[in-house]
Each structure stands twice: as C-alpha cells, then as structure tokens.
Structure 1
Amino acid sequence: MEIGVAFLIKKLIAWLLMPMPVGMMVILAALWLLHRGNSRLATQLLLGTLLWFGVVTHAQISSLFLLPLEAQYEKIEQIPEEVEYILLLGGDKERRAWEAIRLYHRVKNAKIITSGYSMHDRLSDAYKASKLLIEAGVRAEDIMMQEDVKDTKEEAAKMKERVGDRPFLLVTSAYHMPRSMILFKQEGLTPIAAPADFNDRGEDSIWSLFGARHLQKTERAFHEYIGLLWIYVRGAV
C-alpha cells in the first residue's frame, strides 16, 4: 500500500509530541549545553526532565489524562433494532475485537467490518482481525474488510461509501471514541458508540512512578488530545 509523504509527516509530528520524544529532546539539549560549558542550565533541564518522566509515568496522572476521554461513552447494552453493521475500527488493537464478537451475537444478521492497514507487515490489520473473528466463531461470510485506510478519517470516508447514513455500531477503544465519533459524524454518518478496552485504573498508589504501562496510557491520551486539537484547528481555519 502506498504511503503518502503528507501522511508520514503527520505521523512524525504526532510522534515528536509524545512524552518520551519530548523528554529525550530536552535531554539532548541539556547535553549540548553541557558540552558548551553551561552546566547550570544543563542541570536544570536534566532535573526538569526527571520530573517530567515522573509525571507522565505516574499511575494517577495517566488515569487523569485518560478519564475525560473514556468517560464520554459507556459500554453499550441497548442496541437499536435497525442496526446491521458493526465496524471494528483499526483492527484488533488492544483486543477490542472481543466487543465486536459480543455485539455480533446480539445483532440479528450482523455483518462485521474490519478495517486498518499495516505499515510494517504485509498483512493488514483488517485481515488479521478477520482471521481472529473467524477463529472465535464468526462466519466468514459475515465479515467485510477495509484494508486500504490509513487513519480514522479515511475509515470514516470508506464507511460512508458502504453504509451511507444508516446507523451502525462503532467499536473502538474507549479513549479513542470521542475523536472517532466527531470524525464519523463530520462525514455525515450515523455511528452508535460501542466503546471497548476501558483502561484499568486499579493501581493508584502515589508512589507508582516510572511505570512503562502508565507511560503508554499517557501517550494514548496525548495522541487523542493532539488529534482533537487538529480537528478543532482544521475546523477553525
């Protein structure tokens, strides 16, 4: 699948704004200042970076970032009768496919649409998710794939071609749902939020510093807030 330059630049900018790259860039700046003989400022930057990593890898802080995103939509239980399609957004990241399977067994004549490309693998996320669904008991004839979409906006545009304005269940991670709903509604679609993969906030010790799992949660939140900001900027210009 051909990846455009604009898409790669967008991905690079988003990556550079993540907590880890930001911290590493500050460390590099501190080392450069140390090399130039400005040890005082270099020390301040290094101490600031240590504090930064302590904040973004803390359990309570990461949950604080994610909670406003995940709290916007609850797990769906009441499913409208006219629903036929279930869109599994972005393949099976964070094991969200299990929510699609649960809904599949509750919707009469349901069709699951898997979506997502893969930049590093010859097999797309859509294909890999479809294989998992089949292994879990979903009939192959009830699965459709969208393999040529690179991001949520392209997934929305592709879904518009398939279902028009008919309502469908949108399955994605709870933290990604707010941005997804905005993008899909902008395309004139009628998505019904079916969030999955709610993050575990069981660990809330004040001493839970420098946890890789908590850093991952913070990065997820940063990615969504940057995406929401981009939607706002594009809508304002």
Structure 2
Amino acid sequence: MFFPLSKLIFFLITPSNLLIMMSVAGALLLAATRLRRTGSTLVLSGSLGLLLAGMSPLSDLVILPLEQRFPAFATEGLEPTGIIMLGGGIETGLSAARDQVVVNDAGERPIYFADLARRFPKARLVFSGGSGILGGGTSEADMVSRHADAIGLPRSRLILESHSRNTRENATFTAALVHPKPGETWLLLTSAWHMPRAIGCFRQAGFTVEAFPVDYRTRGWSDLLHVHSFSSDGLLQLDLAAKEWVGLLAYKLAGYIPDWLPGPASPPPSGNASR
C-alpha cells in the first residue's frame, strides 16, 4: 500500500504539478462560475508561483541542505569491499525500446559506478534497481546487465538486485543479497540530493555504508544568489527537492529511517549492527 500511495501523493504535491493545477482550476472558476475572486486568486497564485519556483534561487535554497549533507568521498588509499549503485540514472522504457542505454539527468550514477569499478578491480559491484512501477516491467538491473559493456562495467563482477521499487527496498534487498560483515567497507553511490534518505535506509537495514555522492545540481551555497535562465531548470530542481523532503518525512514517520535528516555523524539504530 505504501508504494502506490507514495506515487500518488508525490504526483499531487509536486510543486510544478500543484501550481499548474491551481492555475487551471482558477481559470475554470473564472470561465464557468461566479467565484471570480477565488478564480483570480488561484490563477495569480499559480502563475506567480511558477515564476518564482522556476526563475528564483528558491529551488537552490531547498535542495542545497540535501546536497551539502554529505561531503565528497576521498578514495585515496581505500580498498573497498564493495560498491553499491542505486538505480535511477537509466531510462528503462527508452533503453528497452531503442536497445541501447538511455540515461536521464542522473546519468552520472552509472558513469562513476564504472569508474569506481575500474579503480577498484577487487571490489564487489552491486546494482540495485527494479522497475519502479506497479505490475513489474523491465527492471533497470536488466538494462545494466544487458548493456554492461557499453556502460564500461565488467559483467562477470556484477551482482544485480532487480526487485526493489524504492529506496527502502534498495537497502533491505541489497543487505539480504550480499550479507555484509563487520569491518567491511562498502561505498554507496547515488545522487547527492538523495543521499540522506538512502543512507538512512541502509542504516535502518543494519548495513553500514560510506556515502559517495554524485549528480550534483548546485555548485554550493553561492548558488543562493543564482537566477535560473530557464524556468524549466528551476522547476525540475524544486520538484526533485520537494519529493526528497517529503520522502524523508514519510520514511521517518513509517520507521524506514532512524533520523529526520540522516547525516555523516548519525548513529545506526539501536539493535541493528552491520551484519
């Protein structure tokens, strides 16, 4: 129930969707009813909201606390036991239709996964990503396996987890698959803005991992003075950040993460040690 409900809620409260629906509802009220004041308010609020969300630094203000939560990981002198990449960087439908890898705006994930695989030839390589839709479908893990050579991944070293549909399942299914042992070093590779929720899920699953954030959308706190040249860029960034903040809230209330905003110093939940 949690999975389909979360998808519906995210659709309804996504800022760009919400602001557009406000504007459309206002226009309908103006055209078909006598509620002109309410209609005008909705149209004006929706239009100004789209302008503010798209062009102003608002999206940077919302996403920066997520991206800055974990520092870039220094790999010098490190020999990790394994590297885990979470799905989300490959468009499965387009990849299946075109029979080639089609990445989206989180395409840095497979790029750095391949780079880490090359730099650490003894590390175990785990890709975690199912279809992300109800009723199955082609999983992202299937696409990674099929096009491993094009991505630059050694197919013989890949461990694929193809059933997870969300971040919590990424963590629990991966922990059950690889059985991490105390003292091992595992790197978790995902988007910087997604890292707090991902780390929280792995901690709750009793799997101690080190954050390797990629796919940054900001240059740092200096972007608080940034004005977007294209409103679509600001809206996309705000939608991502809003989804992530709502996800953190929902996951904490559901008991899927131990902290409201997991960070580098957050301890693992009591009673759950690294397996």
Same fold (TM over 0.5): yes
Contact 2:64/2:218 (<8 A) preserved: no
Out of 232, 239, 243, the residue aligned to residue 219 of structure 1 is 239
CA-to-aligned-CA distance 1:46-67 (integer Å, 9 cap, x gap): 1111111012212522222111
Contact in 2 for aligned 1:84/1:107 (Cα 8 Å): no
Q: Encode CA deviations 1:8-57: one digit per residue, 9 max, x unaligned.
A: 22211111110122113322432343222121221122111111101221
Aligned position for 1:185: 203
CA drift of 1:210 comes to 5.5
Assess if the C-alpha contact under 8 Å between 1:116 and 1:124 holds in 2.
Answer: yes
Q: State whether residues 60 and 223 of structure 2, in contact with CA within 8 Å, keep that contact through their aligned partners in structure 1.
A: no
- Distance in 1 (CA, whole Å) between partners of 2:62 and 2:166 is 22
TM-score relative to the length of structure 1:
0.86
Deviation readout 1:139-167 (Å, 9 max, x if unpaired): 21111111111111011111111233433
Q: 1:44 to 1:206 in 2, by over 3 A?
A: farther
Q: 1:188 to 1:59 in 2, by over 3 A?
A: same
Equivalent residue for 1:12? 8
Quote the Cα distance in structure 2 between the aligned partners of 1:175 and 1:206: 18
Partner of 2:192: 174
2:125 matched residue in structure 1 = 112
Matched, 1:156 2:175: no
Indicate the residue corresponding to 2:228 in structure 1.
208
My pick for the range that moved more, 115-124 or 23-32, is 115-124
Deviation at 1:122, TM superposition (A): 4.2
* Letter of the 1:30 counterpart: G
Q: C-alpha distance in 2, partners of 1:7/1:28?
A: 28
Q: What CA deviation, in whole Å up to 9, does each residue of 1:141-197 have, x standing for no partner? A: 111111111111011111111233433111101100011001110111111101111
- Unaligned stretches of 5+ residues in structure 1: none
Q: Secondary structure of 1:123's match?
A: coil
Deviates most, 217-226 or 201-210:
201-210
The answer (yes or no) to whether the contact 1:91–1:115 under 8 Å persists in 2 is no
SS of residue paired to 2:163:
coil
Does the CA contact (< 8 Å) of 2:79 and 2:123 recur in 1? Answer: no
Residues 164 and 66 of structure 1: is their aligned pair in 2 closer, same or farther, counting only changes over 3 Å? same
Aligned to 1:40: 37
Using the TM superposition, name which of 67-76 and 31-40 deviates more.
31-40
SS at match of 1:150: coil
Structure-2 change in CA distance of 1:37 and 1:205 (3 Å): same
Q: 1:200 to 1:46 in 2, by over 3 A?
A: same
Find the residue that maps to 1:153 and give its secondary structure: helix
SS in 2 for 1:190: coil
Task: Deviation per CA, 1:77-103: give whole Å up to 9, x if none.
Answer: 226756222111015341111111121
TM-score, normalization: structure 2?
0.75
Residues 76, 194 of structure 1: 8 Å contact kept: yes
| Residues paired across the two proteins, number | 232
User: What is the alpha-carbon root mean square deviation over aligned residues?
Assistant: 2.6
1:98 alignment partner in structure 2: 111
> Where does 1:136-155 land on structure 2 (aligned, <5 Å)?
136-155=151-170
Same amino acid, percent of matched pairs:
28
What's 2:96 paired with?
none
